């Protein structure tokens, strides 16, 4: 993967992040070690730690809490995924059984609580008050995003504003925090912090939109979960919202499914998922992610000259074109 080559410069630090995540989540009692290890082994792109580390290169200080911040952000992300999977009754993520499937909902809920608690404990070791402030605000927004997502399930008449606000809270703010906190912990100046935060925010928006597109256009093998999971679970993402606006047949079919999301109707909606995946709504959704990507690249341009800018640009373009 091209990304890995781009990231070779931060490999030693990413290894440290990985070790620290393992160390932090491998606590007694054994049940938690089991669920945490299961989650860890499932991997993930570790996008948030990557952005923390890369953003931190802009600052002069090497003394900051960069690794701890990177680990805390990944833990918060992991905890929220575990809880999301309970809501969606998801059985598979990243090609492996979810905690709620392999164990049960209660175990998944408390595993999420535990991982979240560990991230809070890690945070309290950080000295810089701004780190606390940004992170606790982001966690607050993340839980609001979770609640909105739950409330908006099976809700057909959603506008784009609602979708964008939701993905901002659920995804973009956590990635914006990654670049912002990386910058803060390496003592970047205020203007650099602002631009790096902006970069993270726009990348986060583009990243989630593409995630939502791939849920339609990719394969079960690449996704590590069934194609169209979002729509099947009643989550309206950008391609669906656009399809509802653009295409009456899709709209009727989705309406019927949301009224009665039985197994039988699940079969019927799969045709609609396929229809959307080859519809102009996908191109329209890509236009949105491209627009956010452009803004991310603009934010990057306004940063002072630095070798890491090239890496960040590559990652932005890679994420904008990724196929899984």
CB of 244 to a second copy, least distance (A): 22
177 binds a second copy (CB under 8 A): no
**Which residues in the 77-106 window bind a second copy by CB under 8 A?**
83, 86-87, 105-106
Binding status of residue 118 toward a second copy by CB under 8 A: yes
One residue of 56, 111, 177, 195 binding a second copy per CB under 8 A: 111
Binding of a second copy by 110 (CB under 8 A): yes
- At 93, give phi and psi (nearest 5°): -145, 135
In angstroms, give the least distance from the CB of 139 to a second copy.
Answer: 5
Nearest approach in angstroms of CB 71 to a second copy is 14
DSSP β-bridge partners for residue 92: 97
Euclidean distance between CA atoms 9 and 137, whole angstroms: 31
Shortest distance, CB of residue 106 to a second copy, whole angstroms?
5
Closer CB to a second copy, residue 51 or residue 116? 116
Question: Closest CB to a second copy among 150 and 287?
Answer: 150
Find the binder of a second copy among 54, 73, 123, 223 (CB under 8 A). 123
Taking CB under 8 A as the binding criterion, the range among 123-131, 204-212, 218-226, 271-279 that sits at the site for a second copy is: 123-131
Burial string for 188-209 (b: 16+ CB within 10 Å, else e) reads beeebbbbbbbbbbbbbbbbbb
Identify any residues that bridge with 93 across adjacent strands, giving them in sequence order: 96
Position among 15, 41, 121, 255 found at the interface with a second copy (CB under 8 A)? 121
Site for a second copy in 17-56 (CB under 8 A): 27-29, 31-32
DSSP assignment string, 236-273? --HHHHHHHHH-HHHHHHHHHHHH---HHHHHHHHHHH
CA separation for the pair 322, 308 (Å, rounded): 21
In this complex, which beta carbon is closest to a second copy, that of residue 173 or of residue 203? 173
**How far is the C-alpha of 125 from the C-alpha of 315, rounded, in Å?**
30
- Measuring CA to CA, how many Å separate 203 from each of 159, 217, 265, 281? 22, 20, 36, 21
Rounded to an integer, what distance in angstroms lies between the CA atom of residue 224 and that of residue 210?
Answer: 16
The Cα 40–Cα 63 span in angstroms is 27
For tokens 């049960």, name the residue.
104
Give the DSSP per-residue string, 29-72.
Answer: SHHHHHHHHHHHHT----HHHHHHHHHHTTSS-SSS-HHHHHHH
Reading the block at residue 180, the tokens are: 């912002």
Among 51, 58, 116, 288, binds a second copy (CB under 8 A): 116
One symbol per residue from 187 to 206: x for binding a second copy (CB under 8 A), - otherwise; what is it?
--------------------
Q: Which is nearer to a second copy, 143 or 246 (CB)?
A: 143
Letters for 132-151 (x = contact with a second copy by CB under 8 A, - = none) are: xx-xxx-xx-xxx-xxx-xx
Judged by the rule CB under 8 A, the positions of this chain that interact with a second copy are: 27-29, 31-32, 83, 86-87, 105-107, 109-114, 116-118, 120-121, 123-124, 129, 132-133, 135-137, 139-140, 142-144, 146-148, 150-151
């Amino acid at each position: 993967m091209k990304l890995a080559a781009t990231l070779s410069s931060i490999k030693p630090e990413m290894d440290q992040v990985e070790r620290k995540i393992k160390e932090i989540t491998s606590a007694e009692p054994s049940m938690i070690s089991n669920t945490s290890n299961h989650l860890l082994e499932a991997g993930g792109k570790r996008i948030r730690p990557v952005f923390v580390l890369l953003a931190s290169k802009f600052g002069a200080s090497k003394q900051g809490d960069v690794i701890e911040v990177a680990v805390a952000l990944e833990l918060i992300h992991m905890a929220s995924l575990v809880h999301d999977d309970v809501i969606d009754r998801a059985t598979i993520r990243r090609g492996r059984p979810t905690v709620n499937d392999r164990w049960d909902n209660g175990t998944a809920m408390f595993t999420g609580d535990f991982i979240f608690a560990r991230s809070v404990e890690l945070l309290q070791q950080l000295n810089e008050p701004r780190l606390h402030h940004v992170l606790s605000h982001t966690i607050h927004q993340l839980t609001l995003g979770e609640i909105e997502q739950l409330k908006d399930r099976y809700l057909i008449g959603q506008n784009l504003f609602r979708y964008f606000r939701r993905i901002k809270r659920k995804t973009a703010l956590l990635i914006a925090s990654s670049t912002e906190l990386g910058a803060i912990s390496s003592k970047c100046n205020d203007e650099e912090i602002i631009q790096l935060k902006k970069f993270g925010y726009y990348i986060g928006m583009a990243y989630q939109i593409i995630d939502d597109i791939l849920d339609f256009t990719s394969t079960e093998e690449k996704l590590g979960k069934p194609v169209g999971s979002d729509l099947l679970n009643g989550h309206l993402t950008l391609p669906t919202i656009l399809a509802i606006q653009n295409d009456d047949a899709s709209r009727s079919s989705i309406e019927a499914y949301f009224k009665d999301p039985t197994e039988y109707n699940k079969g019927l909606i799969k045709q609609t998922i396929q229809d959307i995946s080859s519809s102009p709504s996908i191109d329209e959704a890509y236009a949105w992610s491209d627009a956010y990507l452009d803004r991310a690249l603009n934010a990057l341009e306004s940063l002072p000259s630095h070798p890491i800018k090239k890496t960040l640009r590559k990652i932005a373009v890679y994420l904008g074109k990724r196929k899984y």
